[in-house]
Structure 1
Amino acid sequence: MAPSDDMLDDDDYPAYTMGRAAEIVGASQDFLRRLDEAKLIAPFRSAGGHRRYSRYQLRLAVRAREMVDQGTALDAACRIIILEDQLEEALRHNRELQKGQEAGAV
């Protein structure tokens, strides 16, 4: 069965094996395991227990690798990325609330 277009466009679809993900990120498979241990990314597990990664998770892994390459400790890099993402989500939510208030005031 061929994947649907929705799966191909879905940033959260776990399309990449650990080996392919490591290749894309430019890091070792152990580095990806350590990101899981640091709770930055939690890869999907196939029925056989193999890790599968989404494009979104790969972007997070690249950010972590870049920070580690610049000398940031892995745990600190993961925490920074998590906080940055939480802030971006809060700002997005705030913008949506403001739009809703503006629409209600019109």
Structure 2
Amino acid sequence: MGRSDDMMDDENHPAYTMGRAAEIVGCTQDFLRRLGAAGLIDPHRSAGGHRRYSRGQLRLAARAQQMCAQGTDLAAACRIIALEDQLAEAQRRPSRPHS
């Protein structure tokens, strides 16, 4: 498998421009900028300084967009998503026996 195939399988590869990311998520480019400012996503910057988004970041943005569309404040949506992801990560780790 070549390098380009590896990148296509990589959830964290910054493959999407801001315009395409906004199209996929169904939001505005400003919404994506605000998610970055809120710390939910940290898009990669190209050599020219343009934001590039990964599939994983688009999933987070879509979750935030859905919550905001249902009336949740942006900051609260970002915090809820971060906590949900922390919980999911903790649940994936094997439990250690207590002594």
Q: Are 2:33 and 1:29 equivalent residues in the alignment?
A: no
C-alpha offsets along residues 39-75 of structure 1, whole Å, 9 cap, x if unaligned?
0000000011000000000000000000000000000
Aligned partner of 1:104 in structure 2 is none
Paired AA for residue 68 in structure 1: C
Task: Output the CA distance in 1 between the equivalents of 2:53 and 2:18.
Answer: 7
Counterpart-to-counterpart distance in 2, 1:44 and 1:34: 15
User: Deviation at 1:4?
Assistant: 1.7
Q: Percent identity?
A: 70
Using the size of structure 1 for normalisation, the TM-score is: 0.86
> What is the match of residue 58 of structure 1?
58
Q: Which runs of 5+ in 1 are unaligned?
A: 102-106
Tell me the equivalent position of 1:68: 68
Q: For the aligned residues, what is the CA RMSD? A: 1.4
Please state whether the residue corresponding to 1:49 is helix, strand or coil.
coil
Q: Which residue of 2 aligns with 1:8?
A: 8
Query: Alignment partner of 2:20: what SS?
Result: helix
Query: When you count helix as a share of all residues, which structure comes out higher?
Result: 1
* Unpaired segments ≥5 residues, structure 2: none
Counterpart code for 2:55: R
In structure 2, C-alpha distance between the alignment counterparts of 1:39 and 1:86, rounded to whole Å: 15
For 1:15, the aligned partner's letter is A
Q: Counterpart in 2 of 1:48?
A: 48
Secondary structure of the structure 1 residue equivalent to 2:80: helix
Structure having the higher Rg: 1
5 Å matches for 1:77-88? 77-88=77-88
Q: Which runs of 4+ in 1 moved over 2 A?
A: none
Separation in 1 of the partners of 2:81 and 2:6? 27
The two structures have a TM-score, normalised by structure 2, of 0.92
